[in-house]
Amino acid sequence: MTDNKRKPTQRSQEEDPEVFAISRDGSKWKLSRRDLLKAGAALGGAIVAGHALAEEGKKVESEASCDNVFAHESAVWALAISPDGKSLFSGGRDKTIKIWSLPEGALVNTLKGHPNGVLSLAVSKDGKTLYSGSGDKTIRRWSLPDGAALKSLDGHSDWVNCVAISPDGKILVSCSDDKTVRLWSLPDGALLKTLEGHTDNVNCIAISPDGKTLYTGGADKTIRKWSLPDGAPLNTFQGHDGTVYCCAVSPDGKTLASVSSDKSIRLWLPEDGSSKAVEGHTGTVSCLAVSPDGKTLASGSYDNTLRLWSLPDGAALKTLNGHTNNVNCVAISPDGSTLYSGGWDKTIRRWSLPDGKPLGCLIDIAASPSDAKGIQYKVTDTVTGQTVTYTLPCGSPIPAGAVCVCNCIPGTLSSSAPSTPARSAPRTPTTYTYCTCNQVHYWHPN
């Protein structure tokens, strides 16, 4: 994987809407200007459709717009979800890792330390450690939930394109542009073995559900099969006519899926390596994920779309449009209800499954342009006909000329991020002003 395979995106602009504040009181969501705001509320830190006054039984129509909303300052290259489904991790070309709380999507923390882009992420089975692979040739470890940097794993001599953890949590597998695959013991991080065989960059890793088989794919157009934990070579699968960028195994272990620059998805029988091509994308297919029930495959492409396919037959289900540039990474929540995607347009978008309905984007206002306060998220109450625009998460930097509201009462302003809020902003000191509240809150212009 090289940086020139990805292209920059253009920013769009919108006019400034009026933005109001909400907070949670007891079991219901309330509005800070009750007499005026009867249209709805958005949860936490994302622009989320369909949550408006649901507890009060009002029928609400919503429209989620991701114009001028960014999650990272540059391309989003990696996504991972914690085993408990409560955290989303994103890695970017901007050299940062961001932690988002789920399901609301509030930004919790921003981790810095890699001197190059973050290409891959994996979370330990106990949810206590995050592993990141980078263009700086290292694998870094971070403790969770605090995000403290731990000792890095060194050994690769080129970009670390993918990291994955075995089902038993005892082995970390990494692959690199140095043409090697490495096995590391967990939790100590000792190098166990270096696997050689690929003749070009190795881009992806998939591990069978029983933890006995490893699959790796790369720029040599092959997928190689290895045994675990010993790393012995077993087979080489050939069928793609271009670089293999991503691979995944179905939960039952009976299907291996891979995607390539040849614009195809291939579905393989792991036993013998026979395969069939699934076509539909019009550009390089860069990423894929299999739903927890094994019935749906999601793929992302440089044609700016995501597509849903049924498994094991590979029938086309739906095309998801929204990204304005290359789609680089996808992840599916452990309960199978939500698909997340990241791309060169700097956004992290989410979609409901299995219908593929767009649910909006995650926001880091610090990564968005100065006019990001003009983002429009419209919620229309079909009873009153009123439309209200909401934006920004709890813990977000407060833009100039805005005030903080917590449950209808102004919050406390400080020059740095609060140390232990429920949904804290990044702990790195910044020039922004933060609002400390014990409830979900939003900013609004004076």
pLDDT tens, position by position, 291-337: 999 999 999 999 999 999 999 999 999 999 999 999 999 999 999 99
- Those residues whose C-beta lies under 8 Å from the C-beta of residue 298, and which sit 6 or more positions away, are 288, 289, 290, 291, 306, 307, 308, 309, 330, 332, 339, 353
* pLDDT tens-place string over residues 86-129: 999 999 999 999 998 887 777 778 999 999 999 999 999 999 99
* pLDDT tens-place string over residues 390-425: 344 434 444 444 444 433 233 333 434 333 333 333
Contact indicator for 368, 11 with CB cutoff of 8 Å:
no
Residue 13 falls inside a structural domain: yes
Say what the pTM is: 0.73
Among 321, 341, 361, residue at a domain's last position: 361
Q: Which domain holds residue 286?
A: 76-361
Q: 48-52, 234-238, 368-372 — which is least confidently predicted?
A: 48-52
* pLDDT tens-place string over residues 243-252: 999 999 999 9
Percent of the chain whose pLDDT exceeds 70: 67
Listed in sequence order, the DSSP H helices in 315-430 are: none
Q: Does one domain contain both 143 and 282?
A: yes
Q: For the chain, give the mean pLDDT.
A: 76
Residue 367 falls inside a structural domain: no
Residues 32-39: what's their mean pLDDT? 24
Could you give the number of structural domains in the chain?
A: 2
Alpha-carbon distance of 176 to 373, in angstroms, equals 40
Residues 35-61: what's their mean pLDDT? 26
* pLDDT tens-place string over residues 353-377: 999 999 888 888 678 766 554 333 3
- pLDDT score recorded for residue 319: 97
Q: Which residues pair with 380 in a beta bridge?
A: 61, 387
What is the 8-class DSSP label of residue 400?
A: T
- Those residues whose C-beta lies under 8 Å from the C-beta of residue 378, and which sit 6 or more positions away, are 62, 63, 65, 387, 388, 389
Alpha-carbon distance of 221 to 244, in angstroms, equals 6
- pLDDT score recorded for residue 251: 96
pLDDT band per the 50, 70, 90 thresholds, residue 3: very low
Alpha-carbon distance of 329 to 309, in angstroms, equals 16
Alpha-carbon distance of 303 to 355, in angstroms, equals 21
Q: Does one domain contain both 105 and 50?
A: no
| 3 state SS of 36 | coil
| Sheet with 233-238, side-by-side order of all strands | 202-207, 213-218, 222-227, 233-238
Among 312, 343, 361, residue at a domain's last position: 361
